[in-house]
Amino acid sequence: MQDNTIHIVADIDALSAAAAQRWAALSAHAIAASGQFHVALSGGSTPRYLFERLAGADYAARVDWRHTHVYFGDERYVPSDHADSNFRMAYEALLRHVPVPAQQIHRVQTELPSAAAAAAAYEAVLNSHLPRDAYGNAAFDLMLLGVGPDGHIASLFPGTDILQEDTRLVAASYVDKLAAWRISVTLPVINHARHIMMLAAGAGKTQILSYVLGASPGSEPLPVQMIEPTGGMEWYVDEAAAQGLATR
């Protein structure tokens, strides 16, 4: 994993404020340059705080939602109204509150008969909507990512075959430890993003952060250590998650 900037802030509230400001800046830059902003949301619990802040009055005017395209870096293979759905979380926390045109909200169609079918359909969505970088790679303007205590990012879990996928943009992955199917963008898509924002908060992330940011990858790097960004990459971490970092 290449060097990247680490922003250490007091708590989840400060983390969400800092990340929201960065989102607004990246969005304004992309829209000024290309007329649109293509962002992939992460799931789990941390980003909810960011989404709720972006849904607030002060960001209603600061972000050009009508020129924003929203995607999902990964999704659980559950109905979109299921409690575990990343779409449902994002819809409730952000998307129902901001004027992103419905046709610009690109949900993973988990109603399709298999996770593989949902992944194939989503790959077609990325291929038809995402801008290309100078090398022809589909490139998000911003990729939000969290990191699990085991070092997973999106739904790229340690020891899963999807980590070796270097052709497809999206794939289905059965995660043994969760006994569940996931749909996820692959590492090349993450690496080709123009900007990656990693969000990590809470004492539960202390160990993984000090391992990942404090040490060079071991013989078998964790998924989060396999990120080789071609664009920018920043970490937004709170004090609790950063307590093991040497830079403290």
Q: From the list 21, 34, 45, 127, which residue makes contact with ligand 6PG (rule: CB under 6 A)? A: 45
| Tokens linked to 103 | 């046709």
Q: From the list 19, 22, 30, 43, which residue makes contact with ligand 6PG (rule: CB under 6 A)? A: 43
Pick 46 or 191: Cβ nearer ligand 6PG:
46
If one asks whether residue 95 binds ligand 6PG (CB under 6 A), the answer comes out as no
Segment near ligand 6PG (CB under 6 A), from 39-47, 106-114, 231-239, 240-248? Answer: 39-47
Q: How far is 167 from 180, CA to CA, in rounded Å?
A: 23
Please count the CA atoms within 13 angstroms of the CA of 213 that sit on its side-chain side. 27
User: What are the CA-CA distances from residue 89 to residues 80, 82, 84, 175 (Å)?
Assistant: 9, 9, 8, 21
If one asks whether residue 206 binds ligand 6PG (CB under 6 A), the answer comes out as no
If one asks whether residue 44 binds ligand 6PG (CB under 6 A), the answer comes out as yes
Q: How far is the CB of 61 from ligand 6PG (least distance, A)?
A: 28
If one asks whether residue 151 binds ligand 6PG (CB under 6 A), the answer comes out as no
What value, to the nearest 5°, has the Cα angle with vertex 149 and ends 76 and 49? 65
If one asks whether residue 46 binds ligand 6PG (CB under 6 A), the answer comes out as yes
Pick 82 or 132: Cβ nearer ligand 6PG:
82
Nearest-CA neighbor of 171 among 81, 230, 108? 108
Q: How many CB atoms lie within 10 A of CB 243?
A: 15
Give the footprint of ligand 6PG on residues 60-89 (CB under 6 A): 74, 86
Residue 154, Ramachandran bin (φ over 0: left; ψ between -120 and 50: alpha; else beta): left
**List of residues contacting ligand 6PG (CB under 6 A):** 42-46, 74, 86, 146-148, 152-155
